[in-house]
């Protein structure tokens, strides 16, 4: 390679000489190694295509390496530019599976089933409501002799000694008890299986305070609905429907006006009008009486209870 370069350089030098000089060319064999220096060769005097192919490849490789090294030296990162505008909304994805169905609301026409394992707010009291220490009878869910309006089983209430047996109904949740005037519905169905004497049936009773009755300082009294006082047929083995809020009731404690006695019951609306501040403490289904006389061996079924202070809830007792 050195000889080629030197030969080309000598040729370039001799071309500019006189005719006498050009008549005799100097060959590479006549040039001693190391005698041609950089200063002896003008810039651009030797073009790339005059070099050997090996030298050309070497020079091109060096030039490419220099360009790659220069481009790899990154400049300092500039400040972040402003955020671009949001793109258009994408298409909606596929519809998800339907969620699990929720429980029936208070305004639902679907009844709530009451069973021994899920009483839905009801409270059985076989000892009754008069402070007795032993059970006066039984409370359970069994199939009645005639199918009820809801399900196949009903609440059965018996009194062995004739004293009270009670099933308390749920009241609206909250810190304040409702006024009796807020009652929008109270109804139930009953079937008497056996009655020791006539006119016995399941009653619905509402205990209140704040009434005009003066026997207790709290104004306590019990508003009693009895089927026989509301022209209910005295026919055991049949289902009969009872509506308390549109029926006739009597007060266990005398009222100042002398209305609403057991001998002369008054419309439920009359009691409400005379006792607008009466506060409901309990609502209960009840059989038997305090003395127990005439009730021993009573057996009856209750079902399809509707009760509400505002929204009305329907209950299937037994399922």
pLDDT digit string, tens, across residues 110-143 = 899 999 999 999 999 999 999 999 999 999 999 9
Domain 112-317, CATH: 2.60.120.260
Q: Identify which has the larger pLDDT, 47 or 174.
A: 174
Query: If pLDDT is split at 50, 70 and 90, which confidence band does 80 have?
Result: confident
pLDDT digit string, tens, across residues 249-297 = 999 999 999 999 999 999 999 999 999 999 999 999 999 999 999 999 9
Q: What is the pLDDT of residue 82?
A: 85
For 82, residues 6+ apart whose C-beta sits below 8 A from its C-beta are none
pLDDT digit string, tens, across residues 201-220 = 999 999 999 999 999 999 99
Q: Decide if 290 contacts 164 (C-beta within 8 A).
A: yes
For 276, residues 6+ apart whose C-beta sits below 8 A from its C-beta are 179, 181
Supply the mean pLDDT for the chain.
84
Q: Is the pLDDT of residue 17 over 50?
A: no
pTM above 0.85, yes or no: no
Lowest mean pLDDT among 65-79, 175-189, 232-246: 65-79
Which residues, in sequence order, are bridge partners of residue 251?
A: 223
Q: Is the pLDDT of residue 237 over 90?
A: yes
Residue 312, phi then psi, degrees to nearest 5: -105, 135
Torsion angle, alpha carbons of 235, 239, 244, 250, to 10: 20
Q: What is the pLDDT of residue 86?
A: 80
Which residues, in sequence order, are bridge partners of residue 224?
A: 205, 250
Q: What is the pLDDT of residue 108?
A: 56
Domain ranges of the chain: 2-68, 112-317
For residue 74, how many C-alpha atoms fall within 13 Å in the half-sphere facing its CB? Answer: 3
Q: Identify which has the larger pLDDT, 223 or 174.
A: 223
Region of 89 please: left (phi>0), alpha (psi -120 to 50) or beta.
beta
Q: What is the pLDDT of residue 263?
A: 97
Which residues, in sequence order, are bridge partners of residue 179?
A: 279
Which residues, in sequence order, are bridge partners of residue 108?
A: none
Neighbour count for residue 310 (Cβ, 10 Å): 12
- Residue 124, token pair as written in the block: 């059985």
Cα angle, residue 287 at apex, residues 286 and 292 outer, rounded to 5°: 130
């Amino acid at each position: 390679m050195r000889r080629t370069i030197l030969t080309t350089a000598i040729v370039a030098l001799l071309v500019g000489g006189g005719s006498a000089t050009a008549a005799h060319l100097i060959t590479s064999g006549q040039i001693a190694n190391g005698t041609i220096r950089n200063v002896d060769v003008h810039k651009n005097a030797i073009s790339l295509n005059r070099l050997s192919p090996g030298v050309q490849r070497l020079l091109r490789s060096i030039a490419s390496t220099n360009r790659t090294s220069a481009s790899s030296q990154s400049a300092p990162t500039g400040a972040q530019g402003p955020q671009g505008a949001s793109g258009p909304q994408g298409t909606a994805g596929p519809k998800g599976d339907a969620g699990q169905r929720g429980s029936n609301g208070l305004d639902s026409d679907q009844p709530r089933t009451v069973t021994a394992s899920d009483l839905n707010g009801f409270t059985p009291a076989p000892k009754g409501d008069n402070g007795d220490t032993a059970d006066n009878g039984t409370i359970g869910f069994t199939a009645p002799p005639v199918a009820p309006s809801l399900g196949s089983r009903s609440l059965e209430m018996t009194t062995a000694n004739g004293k009270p047996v009670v099933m308390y109904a749920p009241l609206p949740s909250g810190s304040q008890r409702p006024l009796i005037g807020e009652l929008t519905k109270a109804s139930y169905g009953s079937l008497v299986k056996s009655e020791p004497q006539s006119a016995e049936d399941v009653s619905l009773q509402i205990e209140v305070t704040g009434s005009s009755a003066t026997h207790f300082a709290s104004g306590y009294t019990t508003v009693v609905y009895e089927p026989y006082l509301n022209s209910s047929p005295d026919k055991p083995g049949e289902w009969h429907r009872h509506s308390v809020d549109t029926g006739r009731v009597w007060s266990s404690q005398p009222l100042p006006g002398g209305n609403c006695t057991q001998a002369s019951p008054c419309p439920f609306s009359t009691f409400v009008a005379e006792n607008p501040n009466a506060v409901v403490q309990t609502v209960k289904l009840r059989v038997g009486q305090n003395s127990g006389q005439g009730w021993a061996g009573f057996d009856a079924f209750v079902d399809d209870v509707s009760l509400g202070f505002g929204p009305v809830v329907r209950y299937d007792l037994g399922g």
